[in-house]
């Protein structure tokens, strides 16, 4: 319940965690006194920039479904708590996508804070800001907008990811585009959007603010890096006309830090290939391409025992990895990401911390047992800060 | 604790279940009285043949890790409760394997009981006994040996499956055979067994009885149906000299029915191909064949992004399915078995029953998301009767 006052227990727990892991942050008792007084007076409290950065990074560290957590310290945290209007929010989201995708940074501001500690250069993924304009050099970014305040309405984005493709049900019943977004696309259409009816139309952003209600914004082309899919061996693959976007940016999860809820805090990493090749383009209720690719490969699809699904799946995933690499867009394969995850678990263990993980999400959706993450158990604790799925905004 | 008296609660629950699902079994209250008196007098009670059959079948129905439960009613239950000596047990196990693999049945007895109800002919898998001698026509079978009785020792088999291959660590440190069974093989060697040191040597059965301690028995060749592996496209595959056995028969799980524990109750189904091709022959700590097959396929193994592991995995699994089919040995693929499992869940639902299932075991170890069992949640209850893993006998 976002209308409740901030829980003192959660606030205290977080402030102590922050000071335990950031020894240069000053005396914890003084900060606890401040926070206690602020909650008593206002029902909530305001995170310092360092607390916000650390809070978002540890929320990632605690995301038990995420295999990509090795680089949690390198998360770039954009403090957008003062952006109030739909235009400001839209401008920030465009800036986020540009920064995340290595495109030109936002016009309005490009202040950004990385790790709260001085050790970023030690991170394998750290690149100096000078590089920040190299398109395709995907970096993990989160934009944190205003927190929910007791009893007040707040801003949200209706989209579950900042970039997704429209889905259309044509008059003859045939589906075009991403079937998962047919309802959402219809909602956009009722709000006045006109999709082009193609397989890969980027959806508009639906930004809802207390002041303006919901408003739609079209993302500028240079904020939406996309990759056309080709195959290292099969020339016909390009003829399928497939593509996917470079930046997966989840925008429907609430960030919870020390009892404070940030209902709008979109974040992105880079893609693990299977998210595209083994889910978005392959699931029967998404683009459902395995039968199409199997037919092109000339496989016998009259019986399951030829493993035509598995063979088509592998070729689709080869194409994804190959195409992103050819386009210079950062992506990782599930074997590499699985190995990194185990390195993360081990590194955390050495730091005296447990790594909560959900086996059913960590194990990749293809070749599960061929990755090392399959062959072990994990802690399942719900540790905070963390990200939570809210009921849909619509 | 097998030494405890049988729990009346569990006994009652099972007897009521048996009568609820078997309306022709007579009045439940009378049977409950009998059982209560028997437990009071002896600390345990003896299942009727019909109870034993139904108990074993429902234990399979409740096995939440098993994807193959659609045909639970067709389980053939061999009542071996009176077999006491190691020779008798061995003879029964040989008979079990022959019957399960469609080979000639046991010499000593070939009495066997199927479903306790008259509806077996309605089961898709049912074949009349006349067929029982067709080799390769694998059928699900369980042999139930004597129950544990309070305070008395009982018989067990040390092997975790009736048929498994030896593993050897050679003087130069190289592993030959199945690495998982190196320790077990060494234990057998200490007991006097002499393995041939090859990749696929069938291990002896180690049968432990209160009377004789542990004794080793060599399985006769005609009880161990095996399939040499070839590939539908690649001729070189046969040169790898791979093979696997036809019948997976788990022998280290305790069957628990109505509070009575059967420590020796080996059971088998037919193989799902991935158990062989995505685990036994592929796991790094088993036969670890993906690098070997990738090399033969000429794949670039210097980077993970070629998905050489995934491609080798698919070809290995094609070979498994192809070879078993070519040999006339029943096997199923993970797509078919997944679809059957969902049919089972639905059929059970219509019968008013929940199907407890463990997602992490039900989802196949390859192409997880390409099978329909991936995309849903399951009940996780521990329902009895069931199978439980005991601490290793050694
Ligand atoms: C850096 C590269 C990253 C990779 C390769 C990666 C990989 C993944 C994958 C494969 C999933 C499962 C997605 C699915 O099956 O739908 C996932 C889930 C998740 N990741 Fe990451 N991730 C990355 C960065 C991040 C970042 C920066 C954050 C947050 C700051 C994050 C938070 C999460 C959360 C909360 C989930 C669960 C989403 C849900 O419940 O739907 N990840 N990640
Ligand atoms: C009829 C064909 C059958 C198929 C295709 C089948 C398939 C499977 C598969 C794929 C597994 C997972 C194995 C693993 O990953 O190690 C499994 C586990 C299991 N199955 Fe079945 N099964 C069959 C018959 C049976 C029968 C007849 C029983 C008992 C009467 C049974 C009881 C179990 C149990 C208890 C497990 C869990 C084993 C453990 O915990 O290690 N299954 N089954």
Cα distance between the two ends of chain B: 18
What are B232-251's pLDDT values in tens digits?
999 999 999 999 999 999 99
Which region among A18-32, A66-80, B91-105, B259-273 has the lowest average model confidence (pLDDT)? B91-105
pLDDT band for B363, please (50, 70, 90 cuts).
very high
Residues of B in contact with A314 (CB under 8 A): 307, 310-311, 314
Ligand 1 geometric centre to CA of B366 (Å): 21
The CB-side HSE value for A388 (13 A sphere, CA atoms) comes to 16
Whether the CB of B362 sits within 6 Å of ligand 2:
no
The minimal CB distance from A369 to the residues B282, B307, B325 is found for: B282
Q: State how far the alpha carbon of B130 is from the alpha carbons of A181, B102, B126, B134, in Å.
A: 56, 11, 12, 9
| Burial classification of residue B100, based on how many CB atoms lie within 10 Å of its CB (0-12 exposed, 13-18 middle, 19 or more buried) | buried
Q: In sequence order, which ranges of B43-119 are alpha helices (DSSP H)?
A: 49-61, 86-100
CA of B38 to nearest chain A CA: how many angstroms apart?
43
The C-alpha atoms of residue A99 and residue A77 are separated, in whole angstroms, by 11
| Burial classification of residue B370, based on how many CB atoms lie within 10 Å of its CB (0-12 exposed, 13-18 middle, 19 or more buried) | buried
Q: Which of A358, A370, A377, A380 to mutate to test the interface with B (most CBs of B within 10 A)?
A: A370
Instruction: Give the 3-state secondary structure of residue A205.
Output: strand
The pLDDT value recorded for residue B119 is 36
Residues of B in contact with A306 (CB under 8 A): 318
The C-alpha atoms of residue A275 and residue A85 are separated, in whole angstroms, by 33
The C-alpha atoms of residue B196 and residue B216 are separated, in whole angstroms, by 16
Whether the CB of B75 sits within 6 Å of ligand 2:
yes
Closest-CA residue to A73 (of A112, A4, A122): A122
In this prediction, does ipTM exceed 0.85? Answer: yes
Average pLDDT for chain B:
92
The pLDDT value recorded for residue A120 is 34
Residue B90 has pLDDT above 50, yes or no: yes
- Interface contact A365-B368, CB threshold 8 A: yes
- The encoded tokens of residue B299 equal 């794949």
Q: Which run of H or E residues covers position A90?
A: helix A86-100
Radius of gyration of chain B (CA): 22
Closest-CA residue to B10 (of B386, B326, B384): B384
The pLDDT value recorded for residue B228 is 98
Q: What is the chain B residue with the closest CA to A336? A: B304
Closest-CA residue to A251 (of A67, A392, A362, A78): A392
The C-alpha atoms of residue A228 and residue A241 are separated, in whole angstroms, by 7
Q: Which residues contact B352 (CB under 8 A, 6 or more apart)?
A: none
Q: Any idea what DSSP says for residue A276?
A: I
Q: Which residue has the tokens 């009722």?
A: A190
Instruction: Give the 3-state secondary structure of residue A152.
Output: coil
- The encoded tokens of residue A69 equal 């957590």
Residues of B in contact with A279 (CB under 8 A): 369
Q: State how far the alpha carbon of B205 is from the alpha carbons of B196, B226, B295, in Å.
A: 16, 17, 36
Mean pLDDT of A297-321: 98
The minimal CB distance from A310 to the residues B305, B306, B314 is found for: B314
Ligand 2 geometric centre to CA of B156 (Å): 20
B60 is catalytic: no
Residue A289 has pLDDT above 90, yes or no: yes
Q: No. of H helices and E strands in chain A?
A: 10, 16
pLDDT band for B2, please (50, 70, 90 cuts).
low
pLDDT band for A144, please (50, 70, 90 cuts).
very high
Average pLDDT for chain A:
92
Give catalytic residues of A, as residue numbers: 66, 69, 270, 275
What are B163-196's pLDDT values in tens digits?
999 999 999 999 999 999 999 999 999 999 999 9
Q: State how far the alpha carbon of A132 is from the alpha carbons of A98, A110, A136, A368, in Å.
A: 9, 11, 10, 35
- Strand order through the sheet with A386-389: A260-262, A253-257, A386-389
The C-alpha atoms of residue A211 and residue A208 are separated, in whole angstroms, by 8
Whether the CB of B388 sits within 6 Å of ligand 2:
no
What are B267-307's pLDDT values in tens digits?
999 999 999 999 999 999 999 999 999 999 999 999 999 99
Residue A234 has pLDDT above 60, yes or no: yes
The pLDDT value recorded for residue B109 is 39
CA dihedral sign, ordered B266, B271, B272, B275: positive
Ligand 2 geometric centre to CA of A314 (Å): 27
pLDDT band for B394, please (50, 70, 90 cuts).
low
Do B39 and B45 touch, CB atoms closer than 8 A?
A: yes
Residue A119 has pLDDT above 80, yes or no: no
Q: What is the chain B residue with the closest CA to A307? A: B318
CA of A292 to nearest chain B CA: how many angstroms apart?
14
Q: Any idea what DSSP says for residue B107?
A: S
Nearest protein Cα to ligand 2, atom 21: B66
Ligand 1 geometric centre to CA of A122 (Å): 23
- Interface contact A367-B322, CB threshold 8 A: no
Q: Any idea what DSSP says for residue A160?
A: S
Closest-CA residue to B93 (of B265, B235, B214, B210): B265
The minimal CB distance from A311 to the residues B306, B314, B322 is found for: B314
The minimal CB distance from A307 to the residues B317, B325, B374 is found for: B317
Does residue A234 belong to the interface with chain B, where contact is any CB pair within 8 Å?
A: no
Whether the CB of B332 sits within 6 Å of ligand 2:
yes
The C-alpha atoms of residue A29 and residue A26 are separated, in whole angstroms, by 9
B69 is catalytic: yes
Beta bridge partners of A254: A388
- The encoded tokens of residue B16 equal 């009521």
What are B193-237's pLDDT values in tens digits?
999 999 999 999 999 999 999 999 999 999 999 999 999 999 999
- Percent helix, strand, coil in chain B, to 5, is 40, 15, 45
pLDDT band for A5, please (50, 70, 90 cuts).
confident
B66 is catalytic: yes
Do A393 and A158 touch, CB atoms closer than 8 A?
A: yes
Closest-CA residue to A160 (of A203, A221, A214): A203
pLDDT band for A379, please (50, 70, 90 cuts).
very high
Percent of chain B with pLDDT over 70: 91
Nearest protein Cα to ligand 1, atom 38: A65
Mean pLDDT of A85-106: 88
The CB-side HSE value for B59 (13 A sphere, CA atoms) comes to 29
């Amino acid at each position: 319940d976002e209308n409740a006052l901030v829980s003192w227990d959660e606030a205290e727990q977080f402030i102590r965690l922050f000071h335990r892991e950031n020894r240069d942050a000053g005396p914890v008792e003084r900060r606890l006194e401040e926070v206690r007084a602020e909650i008593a007076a206002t029902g909530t409290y305001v995170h310092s920039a360092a607390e916000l950065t650390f809070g978002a990074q540890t929320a990632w560290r605690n995301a038990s479904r995420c295999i990509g957590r090795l680089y949690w310290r390198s998360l770039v945290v954009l403090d957008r708590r003062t952006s109030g209007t739909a235009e400001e929010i839209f401008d920030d989201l465009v800036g986020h996508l540009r920064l995340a995708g290595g495109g030109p940074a936002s016009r309005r501001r490009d202040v950004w804070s990385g790790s709260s500690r001085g050790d970023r250069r030690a991170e394998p993924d750290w690149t100096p800001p000078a590089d920040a304009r190299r398109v395709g050099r995907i970096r993990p970014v989160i934009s944190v907008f205003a927190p929910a305040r007791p009893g007040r309405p707040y801003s949200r984005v209706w989209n579950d990811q900042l970039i997704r493709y429209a889905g259309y049900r044509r008059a003859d019943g045939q589906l075009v585009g991403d079937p998962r977004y047919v309802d959402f696309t219809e909602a956009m259409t009722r709000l006045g959007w006109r999709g082009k009816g193609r397989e890969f139309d980027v959806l508009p952003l639906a930004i809802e603010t207390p002041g303006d209600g919901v408003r739609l914004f079209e993302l500028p082309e240079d904020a939406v890096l996309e990759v056309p899919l080709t195959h290292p061996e099969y020339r016909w693959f390009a003829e399928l006309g497939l593509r996917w976007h470079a930046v997966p940016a989840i925008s429907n999860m609430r960030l919870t830090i020390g009892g404070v809820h940030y209902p709008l805090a979109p974040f992105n990493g880079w893609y693990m290939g299977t998210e595209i090749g083994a889910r978005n383009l392959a699931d029967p209720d998404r683009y459902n391409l395995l039968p199409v690719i199997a037919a092109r490969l000339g496989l016998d699809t009259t019986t399951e025992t030829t493993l035509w699904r598995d063979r088509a799946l592998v070729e689709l995933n080869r194409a994804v990895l190959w195409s992103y690499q050819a386009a210079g867009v950062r992506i990782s394969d599930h074997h590499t990401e699985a190995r990194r995850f185990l390195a993360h678990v081990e590194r955390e263990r050495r730091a005296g911390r447990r790594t909560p993980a959900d086996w059913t999400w960590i194990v990749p959706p293809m070749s599960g047992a061929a990755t090392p993450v399959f062959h072990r158990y994990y802690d399942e604790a719900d540790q905070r800060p963390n990200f939570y799925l809210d009921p849909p905004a619509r």
